[in-house]
Structure 1
Amino acid sequence: MKNLPSLLLLAALVPALGACAPRTDSAAAPVRATVPVSSVGFYPQQTGLTWTYVPEDETVGDLPYVLRALGPTIFTGESVSATQMTGRGAEQTWYRRVGADGVFLLGLRKPGVTVALNPAWQEYPAENAWKVGLVWQGRSAVTVASDDGQVKARGTLNYRYEVQDRRQVTTRAGTFSVWVVTRQMSDDVGGLFPATQQLWFTPFVGEVRTPEGLLLTGRNFATKGGTP
C-alpha cells in the first residue's frame, strides 16, 4: 500500500487514507450498470455515477475505495459538481466546475478541513484539445481552513500536465483506450501535493488510473469508452 498516503492532498495536516482501518461493510460488491449511456458526459459527473478503485499493488478481494458523483452544490459561492471518495474509514469530497472547456477544481474537503483554490486548478483540458504532446499548466493560491473558519495555512500551488501517450490498458473493470497523462506539482504549503504522478483518463468513463495509483475495478454505468 505504498501509494495510499498520497491519496489525500492534506497528508501533512490530517491522517492519510493509509492510516485508516479497513471497513468491514459490503463495499466490495461489484457495481452494476444502471445509468443510460446518453446521460453520461465526456467528463462524467452526473449525479449517481459510481466508480470503485483499489491500489494497483493490492490483490483481488481487497475492499475498494468508492467514488460517487453527488451532484450540484455550492462551494465558495460558485455552482459546482461534488464527488466524494469513501472507504477504509476515509472520506474526501472534491468540488469541480465541469464543462466542454475542461475540468477545474475549486477545492476539496475532508472532515474538519477545507482547501480552497483560487483560481481553480485546471485538471483536464477542453474536450476537443486532447492529443499526444498536449501541455497545460497554471498556478493557484491555496487556503487551508478548519471548520470554524480558522486559516491553517496559505500558499501557492504550481502544476503542469502533459499527455504522454494513448494506449489500451486492462484492469479488473475491463479494457480501455486511455490517455496517459503525467502531472507535476510543487507548492510552498509544506509539500502537501505530490511532485510527479501519472494518471489514465478515458472519455465518458473517467480515471482508469488515478494520480494516486488507484486502478478502476468497477462502475455503475456503461459507455462507449469501455465495458463495465
Structure 2
Amino acid sequence: MRGRARFLALPLLAALGACAPAPQTGAPAVQASTPVSRVSFYPQETGLTWTYLPEGEAAGGAPYTLRSLGPTVFAGQTVLASQLTGRGAEQTWYRQVDQGGARLLGFRKPGVTVGLDPAWLEAPAEGAWRVGLSWQGESRVTITSDDGKVQAQGTLRYRYDVQDRRRVTVPGGSFDVWVVTRQITDDVGGLFPQAQQLWFAPFVGDVRTPEGLLLTGRNFNAR
C-alpha cells in the first residue's frame, strides 16, 4: 500500500506544478531564512538544517540531513520535532527545550514509535555546562507499532559525563565543543549502543552526533 501511495503522489505533484501561477517579470523571488539572532543556544528554530557524513568516510558521499521541523504534538504535549533522513534512514525526534535544558519525549522510526516517561534529559541548563558535569536518569520505554499495538515495554537508564572543552575541526568548520560521553542501558533489546561520544557546540548543535556523524554543513551561522 505504501509503494502504491508513492506512485499516486507523483501525478498529484505534477498537477500542483501545472496549476502554479507563472512568476511575474521583475518580481522578487520568494525566499525564507532564519535570522541569526533567533538561533538558540540549543538550535531549534523551524527551517534550520544540518548535513553530516559518517566519521572516517571520504568526502563526497551522500549526506545525512537533519531538519528542524518546528512545533507539533507528541504524547499529548507540545514539542519540537527534528528529522534525520538520508541513505534510506528516517527518524524523527520529539523534544522540549527550555531554561532547564533539552528533554527527549520520544522518537519515531518507520513502523514504530518509542515513548519515554519521564522525558530523557539530553542536555542541561545553558549555564550548567562545565568539564566534570554529569547527570543521569531513567525512563519507562514504550514501543508502539503503527496500528497502536504495544510491542515492548521496559526501562532505559542513561548517564552523561562532560569530559572536555576543546577546539575541533570537521568538514563543516572549526568549533569550540563540549566533549560528552553518553552511556545507555535498556531491557527492551538495546535501542542504543551502550557507550557513545558526542561533541556539542552552543548555537550550532551537534558537531559529532552520538551515532558518529560529523557535521559537514548548515544553513545558518552561529552567533
* CA shift for structure 1 position 35: 2.5
Segments of 5+ residues of structure 1 without an aligned counterpart are 1-32
**1:179 match:** 178
Alignment partner of 2:52: what SS?
A: strand
Q: Is the 8 A contact 1:167 1:177 kept in 2?
A: yes
Residues 3-43 of structure 1: per-residue CA shift (max 9 Å, x gap): xxxxxxxxxxxxxxxxxxxxxxxxxxxxxx94321010000
Q: Does 1:71 align with 2:39?
A: no
Alignment partner of 2:191: what SS?
A: coil
* CA shift for structure 1 position 152: 0.6
Higher helix residue share: 2
Q: Is the 8 A contact 2:101 2:126 kept in 1?
A: yes
Query: Which residue identity lines up with residue 88 of structure 1 in the other structure?
Result: R
**1:109 match:** 108
* CA shift for structure 1 position 166: 0.1
| TM-score of the pair, normalised by structure 1 | 0.83
**1:45 match:** 44
**2:164 match:** 165
Q: Is the 8 A contact 1:75 1:95 kept in 2?
A: yes
Work out the CA distance in 2 between the residues paired with 1:161 and 1:182.
6
Query: Which residue identity lines up with residue 124 of structure 1 in the other structure?
Result: A
Superposed, which structure 2 residues align to 1:133-152 within 5 Å?
133-152=132-151
**1:58 match:** 57
**1:26 match:** none
Work out the CA distance in 1 between the residues paired with 2:163 and 2:88.
34
Residues 51-76 of structure 1: per-residue CA shift (max 9 Å, x gap): 00010021010010000000000000
Aligned length: 192
**1:36 match:** 35
Q: Is the 8 A contact 2:63 2:86 kept in 1?
A: yes
Query: Which residue identity lines up with residue 207 of structure 1 in the other structure?
Result: D
Work out the CA distance in 2 between the residues paired with 1:149 and 1:120.
21
**1:215 match:** 214
* CA shift for structure 1 position 156: 0.3
* CA shift for structure 1 position 110: 1.3
Return the structure number with greater relative CO, CA threshold 8 A, min gap 6.
1
Alignment partner of 1:38: what SS?
A: helix
* CA shift for structure 1 position 100: 1.9
Work out the CA distance in 1 between the residues paired with 2:112 and 2:220.
31
Alignment partner of 1:149: what SS?
A: coil
Please, what is the CA RMSD of the aligned residues?
Answer: 1.1
Query: Which residue identity lines up with residue 117 of structure 2 in the other structure?
Result: N
Work out the CA distance in 2 between the residues paired with 1:128 and 1:153.
37
Work out the CA distance in 2 between the residues paired with 1:34 and 1:129.
31
Q: Is the 8 A contact 1:35 1:222 kept in 2?
A: no
Determine what percentage of the aligned residue pairs are the same residue: 70
Structure 1 consecutive aligned stretches of length 4 or more whose deviation exceeds 3 Å: none
